[in-house]
C-alpha cells in the first residue's frame, strides 16, 4: 500500500515487515538495491531486525571501539537509525564503521519500551541491567 506525501514528493511503501520506507517520486518502488532486499547483505539482514533492541559497536580510528544501545528504527544502504532509550532520540549510524552487533532476544523489554514511551523513567529502571551491561 502506498501513501503519497505531496510536500516532500515521496511515496511511503510498506516493506512487508510492518514498516514503511520513503521512496522519492520518480523512483520505481519495485526496484530497490539488492543490498536492501537480499539477506546475504548486512543492510537487508538488519531490515529483518527492525524493532529489536541491540548493542552496536563501532570502530573509530584504528583501535577505539565505541558502542551505542538502542532499538533499531530503520536501515538504509549505508546507515542504520537507532532509537536511544535514554532520551528517546534517533541516532544516525554509519554502517561501514560497525564491527559488532549484539541483538537482544528478550522481546518483553522491547514491548515494555513500546508500551511505556511516555514513562521513560520507569522504562530506564526496568532496563537497569541492560544499561549496566549485564546482558552484553
pLDDT digits (tens, 9 = 90+) for 10-34: 455 555 555 565 555 555 556 889 9
Q: Residue 113: exposed, middle, or buried by beta-carbon count in 10 A (0-12, 13-18, 19+)?
A: buried
- The C-alpha angle with vertex 81 and arms to 118 and 101, in degrees rounded to 5, equals 105
Q: Where in the sequence of the chain do the CATH 2.30.30.520 domains occur? A: 34-131
CA distance 120 to 69: 15
Determine the pLDDT at residue 86. Answer: 82
pLDDT > 90: what percent of the chain?
50
The mean pLDDT value for 32-57 works out to 94
Determine the pLDDT at residue 135. Answer: 43
113 neighbors 123 (Cβ within 8 angstroms): yes
Determine the pLDDT at residue 29. Answer: 53
The mean pLDDT value for 53-74 works out to 95
Which residue, 52, 45, 47, 54, is CA-closest to 108? 52
Give the pLDDT band of residue 80 (cuts 50, 70, 90): very high
CA distance 121 to 131: 13
Give the pLDDT band of residue 1 (cuts 50, 70, 90): very low
Architecture of the domain delimited by 34-131: Roll (2.30)
* φ, ψ (nearest 5 deg) of residue 120: -65, -30
Q: Show the DSSP H helices in 8-119 as ranges.
A: 34-37, 42-47, 107-115
Amino acid at each position: 500500500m502506498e501513501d503519497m506525501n505531496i510536500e516532500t514528493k515521496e511515496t511511503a511503501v510498506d516493506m512487508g515487515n510492518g514498516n514503511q520506507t520513503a521512496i522519492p517520486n520518480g523512483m520505481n518502488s519495485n526496484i530497490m538495491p539488492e543490498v536492501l532486499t537480499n539477506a546475504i547483505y548486512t543492510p537487508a539482514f538488519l531490515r529483518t531486525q527492525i524493532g529489536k533492541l541491540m548493542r552496536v559497536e563501532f570502530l573509530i580510528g584504528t583501535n577505539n571501539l565505541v558502542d551505542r544501545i538502542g532499538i533499531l528504527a530503520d536501515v538504509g544502504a549505508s546507515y542504520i537509525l537507532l532509537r536511544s532509550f535514554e532520551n528517546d532520540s534517533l541516532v544516525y549510524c554509519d554502517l561501514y564503521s560497525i564491527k559488532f552487533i549484539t541483538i537482544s532476544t528478550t522481546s518483553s523489554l522491547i514491548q515494555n519500551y513500546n508500551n511505556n514511551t511516555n514513562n521513560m523513567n520507569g522504562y530506564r529502571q526496568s532496563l537497569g541491567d541492560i544499561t549496566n551491561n549485564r546482558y552484553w
